[in-house]
Amino acid sequence: MNNAPIGIFDSGLGGLTILKALQKTLPAERLIYFGDTANVPYGSKSRETVTRFSRDIAQFLEQKGVKLIIVACNTASALALTRLRKTCRVPVLGVIEPGAQKAVRSSRGGRIAVLGTEATVKSGAYRQQILKLAPHAKVTQVPCPLFVPLVEEGWSKNPVTRLIAAQYLKPLAKTQADTVILGCTHYPVLKPVIANVLGKQVQLVDSAQTLAQEVKNYLISHDEQAQGRGSLTIYASDAPERFKHLAKHILGTRLKTVRLKKLNA
């Protein structure tokens, strides 16, 4: 038994899709979430910058006594995970491996597309992981840089979002992809729009539930599951009231408090 909290961080609101799955799968765990709203989006930033932000957040979470850190941000998982695993005192899990595993299991014909930020796509992290699991898979990667700001603005149901999605997803028609990875934690918020554009024949994959199960398996195997009643503490590096307002659309419930924590402050 280990009642120490689990730390989760993302560039902004998107990681709440992971948080929601963790709350459902691990109701006894104490969760600490950090949304780096002062620096969102990560997807257009360099590896050095994303690694620096990730390291600073991980240090803050370690100061809070976490037993495990989950990098909910796909960009940070692609660019900073290796560095974090070397520098953190606690285990660090990312979202790319679970997402790739689920896509390979879900694909009927081995034609898999990855939607991601510019940095995630450029890193090739999903392609590498998919081909490691399924060497003969056909992998297409599509950068969708405007999706994150659309979610952060609360525009998931705005008609302009469907127009942008249709433009981004047009190249997928030629690939005949049967499975599409939502390779950013913000993108599941746009799942209805993306599904409408791609059609029912395409399987959409996000790593939230797969990652939550992986965390559960890890805690069981290391005898570190919590007992009792779980809790949630949320920090944002900027505009906590705005974060609280927009979070309701993802979590389906209103947050009581979002605390302001500026990095390096």
Report the 10 Å Cβ neighbour count for 28. 14
Total-model pTM: 0.92
Structure tokens at 52: 């620096």
Find out whether 72 and 47 touch, Cβ atoms under 8 Å.
Answer: no
Q: What is the CATH number of domain 6-94+209-260?
A: 3.40.50.1860
Q: Where in the chain is the domain with CATH 3.40.50.1860?
A: 6-94+209-260, 96-206
Find out whether 127 and 83 touch, Cβ atoms under 8 Å.
Answer: no
Give pLDDT tens digits for 20-43: 999 999 999 999 999 999 999 999
Instruction: Measure the CA–CA gap between 113 and 127, rounded to whole angstroms.
Output: 9
Instruction: Measure the CA–CA gap between 60 and 55, rounded to whole angstroms.
Output: 9
Q: What is the CATH number of domain 96-206?
A: 3.40.50.1860
Which of these is catalytic: 73, 92, 137, 150? 73
Residues near 254 by beta carbon (within 8 Å), at least 6 away in sequence: 244, 248
Whole-angstrom CA distances from 95 to 10, 21, 72, 98, 208 are 11, 13, 6, 6, 8
Whether 73 is catalytic is: yes
Give pLDDT tens digits for 111-143: 999 999 999 999 999 999 999 999 999 999 999
Q: Per-residue confidence of the chain (265 residues) as pLDDT tens digits?
A: 899 999 999 999 999 999 999 999 999 999 999 999 999 999 999 999 999 999 999 999 999 999 999 999 999 999 999 999 999 999 999 999 999 999 999 999 999 999 999 999 999 999 999 999 999 999 999 999 999 999 999 999 999 999 999 999 999 988 999 999 999 999 999 999 999 999 999 999 998 988 999 999 999 999 999 999 999 999 999 999 999 999 998 898 999 999 999 987 5
- The total number of residues shown for the chain amounts to 265
Whether 144 is catalytic is: no
